[in-house]
Chain A
C-alpha cells in the first residue's frame, strides 16, 4: 500500500515549489493541507505520510461506525481523488521512523527518504494504556482507529454464538462511553469501569454525571464508578476477565482501554525538538525549529494540549495563514487558544458541556431541573458573562450558550430568562420568568400528578384561592409531588399581581430548595429516590451539588429511608462523623471508647491508660455521659489508637455522631439500698440495642433505678425511671441550651416492654424529625399527643416501628473504628506528602503511603 499515487501538476511546476512534508494523514494534518491549498494552491509540493493503510477519515465518527449508524465510506473526508486532484503524494502504510533535521529529510520505516523545506508534524495522540498485568493479552484493544473498531466488531460477532458475549470498557470518559454504547448496540453485555465517582468528570458535574449513569444503566449497561482495575485476567493468551482492586471479577471477551490519550511526541523528541507534554508550538504553530510546524493533538500551545476536534480547526487556520503569508499583508495574528465544548455521541442522550463550570468568586450558578422530562441545565455566569454551561436532556441551547461564552457578551439584560434558552431570552418578550408561564396556553398542563391545566389553576385563584396552600386545597395543583410548585407560584403572581405575598409558609431545608424537610422526606420514600444527586434532580434543587446544610440532611434521610441499600456518602458528613472522633479547637481529635452502660473493667482502663501514654494525650476526662474522653489525638494517629482500643475489646463510643451517644445508669438494685430494679443491667441492654444507629441529631438515654433519679434520666431523649411496679418511660428531655424536662410517655411492667418501646420511639423520631432536630424541639413542634398517637393508636404500630429499627440496626452495628484500624479510608488520616525544605535551595517532597 505504500506506492505513491499519481501526480498531476498544474500551476507552478512541482519541482520549483517548496517541499512540504506532512507526517500524519489524520484530521489535523489533512485539514492543515486543505487550509493551505485554499489560500495558495501553488505554493507547496506536498507529501503526506500516513501510518494507517487508508485514506483520511473522520476519526471522531468512529463511534457511529462502531454503533452501526455509519459505514466507513460515510466518514471518509478525503478520498483518493483529493490527493490526485491536488497533486499530493500520499505515502500510506509507511510510518515515519526518523526526522533528520541536519539534512532536512524524513526517513520512512521502509527506508524511503523524503527531503523537505517545511515539515508539518501532525502525529496526533496515542491511547494511554494503564500499566496493569495482562494489558498485552489478545483481546485488549484501544479505541483510536478503524482497526480497533474492526476488532470490537469481530468480538461482537463471535459473541453472537453464545448470547452476545461480554465486553469491559475501562474508562468512563467521552470515548469509553461511546465505545460502550456501540458494543451494547452490537449485542454485547457491557460493563464500564471508571476510576472516578462521576462519569465524564472532566466535562460533567455530579448532577449531570448521575443522570447519565442512570440512563446508561436503564439501557442495560453496568456502570461501576470508583472502580480501580487491578489486573486483566487471561486464558490461553486471550483476555477472559477484568479483576478490580476490591476483588470483584468481571468476565470479558474483549477489553477496551479508553482511559485517555497522550500526545504522540516520540518523533519530535528524538529529533531534538522542544517537547514538554506535547510538542511546543508558538501562535503560528511553529516548533523550536523554524522549518518544522506541528498541529493537532500532538502539540502543546500556551501550556494546553487539546483532545477535541474544534481546536484543531482553529490551529489549522492559524498555521495556514502563517505558512502562506507573503509579507504583502498584515502579519497573521495567530492562534490564541480555544475554549472547548463537548457533546456525547450516544444516540438518544443529549448532553452538552462547555467552558468552565467550576464557578469562582462572583460566579453564580443558574440551575433549572425538570424531573419529569429528565432535564438538567446549569449555566455559570460571572461578571454578567456566561463562563460555562452543562446541559443534560435538552441541549438545544448549547450552541447559543457557547456562543455567548466565546463572544463574552454582556447578558445582564437577559439574565432572568437566560436559563429558559434562546427562543425565550431573545424573543423580545418581557424578560421575566413569569412571562414564560403567562405565555402558556390555557389548556397547558401545570400539574402532571393531578392532571390540572393552567386554566383550572387560574380559575381556582380567581375563585379566591390566594395562596399556594389554598390552590393545593382546591384544585390539587402541586399537592402531590410538588415539582410544579414554581409554576403555580408564577400563576399566583400573574393572576393576583401585587396581592400575592409570594411567601411560602414552610421553612425550606436550605436555600438550595423550595421544599421543606417533611416534603423531602416524604418524596424520598414516595418516589423511591436513592441517591443524593437523584433527590436534587427530582426535587429541582437550585444548586448543582447542594451545600453544607442540605447534603448531610439528605444523606441522613436516604440512610434512614433505605437501610442496607443506600450507600453512606462520606463527603456529605460533618468532619466528626467522617473521622469518627470529635474535632477540637486546635484541629486535634478526642476519642471516647464505648463503655456499655458506663461500666468498665481493669483491662479497658489499662488499654486507655496505655493509649494516653503511647500517644502523649495531654488530657483524659470523665464525661457527663459516664465515659472517658482522651484528648489531643492527631488525625494520623487515630487508626492506631483505635487498633489498641479494639484489642482490649472496646468499640467506637459515637461521641461524635448524630447518633446514640451514651446510656447513663445508676447502680440500681444490685448495690443501691434504694434501687427498685436492675437499672445498670437494663442500661447495658438498651445500649446494646441502640448503639451505632444514625439519628436526626444526637440521642442520649439514661436509666435510673429509683425516683431519686441519680442517672438524671429526666433530661435525656429517652429516660427510664425504675419504680417498684415497673418502668416509667420518659421522652424529650434536654439539658442543653434550653432546659427541658421529659414528658411521661407511658409506664410498662417489664424490661422487654421497655426495650420494645424504646426501639419504637427511636424509630418514630428517626423517621419523622427534621435533620438536626433533637427530640425536645421535635416534641414541642409536633406535640406529645402526636407522638403518643403514632405509637399507641394502632396496636400494631409499636411492633412495626421496632421491627424497622431492628432491621436498620442489623446494618449499623458494625464498629467503624475496626474498619479504619484495618486500613479503610486511610487517605482521610494520612497527609498527602510532606514538604521539607532541607537546604535553602533544595526542597524535597516526601510521599506518604
Chain B
C-alpha cells in the first residue's frame, strides 16, 4: 500500500493475546491487537454497540469480545459478528523488521488539522 507509515515501535511491546492503546490527539483512540496466531491488527478502540474499549476484551482467533456486553468484533474487518450489527473502523497496519507501522492518513483521518494538509 502506498502512503506514509507511522512507526509505532517494536512488536514485543504487545504480548500475544493482548492489546494496547494509542491515543490520537484530536482523533479517535486506536487499539492494536496481537493475536495468539501472532497477527497484528489495529482498530478504533470503540465497540460499535456502546463504545466499549475493545482493547480490554478477550482475544480469541481473530476476534475480540467487547468487555462491556460481549459483542464479538472481527479484528480483520471491524464488523460485529453473529446476530449483532455494526462496524468499527480498522487502520491499515504492517509489521516490518519487527516493528509495527500504521497508515498515517488512517490514524489522523478524523483530525481536522491533519486533513487540511
Contact = CB atoms under 8 A, between A and B. Distances in A.
Nearest to B45: A587
Nearest to B47: A587
Interface in B1-55: 6-9, 12-18, 20-27, 30, 32, 35-39, 50-53
B67 A832 contact: no
Contacts of A547: 60-61, 63, 65
Contact of A551 (B60, B96, B104): B60
Given A277-B97, A827-B20, A837-B25, A572 B111 contact: no
B114 A837 contact: yes
Contact of B76 (A360, A543, A583, A830): A360
A606 interface: no
Contacts of A359: 37, 61-62, 76
B61 A837 contact: no
Given A583-B68, A832-B32, A837-B113, A361 B61 contact: no
Contacts of A277: 96-97
Q: Which of B58, B98, B113 has the most CB of A within 10 A?
A: B58
A834 B23 contact: yes
Interface in A328-365: 357-361, 363, 365
Nearest to B29: A831
B61 A571 contact: no
A392 to B, nearest CB: 15
Chain B interface residue number, banded: 35 or more
A359 B9 CA distance: 25
Nearest to B30: A835
A837 B50 contact: no
Given A206-B36, A832-B9, A837-B114, A197 B15 contact: yes
Q: Which of A205, A575, A579, A841 has the most CB of B within 10 A?
A: A575
A198 interface: yes
A357 B60 contact: no
Given A358-B35, A585-B50, A585-B68, A843 B108 contact: yes
B63 to A, nearest CB: 8
Contact of A835 (B20, B51, B108): B108
B6 A201 contact: no
A277 B21 CA distance: 27
A847 B22 CA distance: 10
B36 A835 contact: no
A361 B76 contact: yes
A572 B58 contact: yes
A97 interface: no
Given A546-B60, A548-B70, A571-B59, A836 B16 contact: no
Interface string A548-574: 100110000000000000000001111
Nearest to A259: B98
A833 interface: yes
B16 A843 contact: no
A358 B22 contact: no
B114 A574 contact: no
Contacts of A832: 8-9, 13-14, 20-22, 32
Interface in A495-553: 543-548, 551-552
A844 to B, nearest CB: 9
A840 B116 CA distance: 6
A466 B43 CA distance: 50
Given A361-B76, A545-B61, A548-B60, A571 B39 contact: no
A843 B68 contact: no
Interface in A805-849: 827-828, 830-837, 839-841, 843, 845, 847
Contacts of B74: 361
* Residue among A260, A547, A579 having the largest count of chain B Cβ atoms under 10 Å: A547
A831 B20 CA distance: 6
A196 interface: yes
Contacts of B70: 548
Contacts of A612: none
Contacts of A837: 24-27, 108, 111, 113-114
17 contacts: A197-B15, A198-B38, A357-B37, A359-B76, A544-B61, A547-B65, A573-B58, A574-B58, A585-B68, A587-B51, A831-B21, A835-B6, A835-B107, A837-B27, A837-B108, A840-B113, A847-B9
List the 9 closest A-B pairs by CB distance, nearest first: A571-B17, A548-B65, A575-B67, A358-B39, A832-B20, A575-B56, A587-B53, A840-B117, A548-B58
Interface of B: 6-9, 12-18, 20-27, 30, 32, 35-39, 50-53, 56-63, 65, 67-68, 70, 72, 74, 76-77, 79, 96-98, 104, 107-108, 111, 113-114, 116-117
Given A357-B37, A587-B53, A834-B22, 17 more contacts: A195-B12, A361-B79, A548-B60, A574-B67, A575-B58, A585-B50, A586-B51, A587-B52, A587-B56, A827-B14, A828-B18, A830-B20, A833-B8, A837-B108, A837-B113, A837-B114, A840-B113
Interface of A: 195-198, 201-202, 205-206, 260, 262, 277, 357-361, 363, 365, 543-548, 551-552, 571-576, 578-579, 583, 585-587, 635, 827-828, 830-837, 839-841, 843, 845, 847
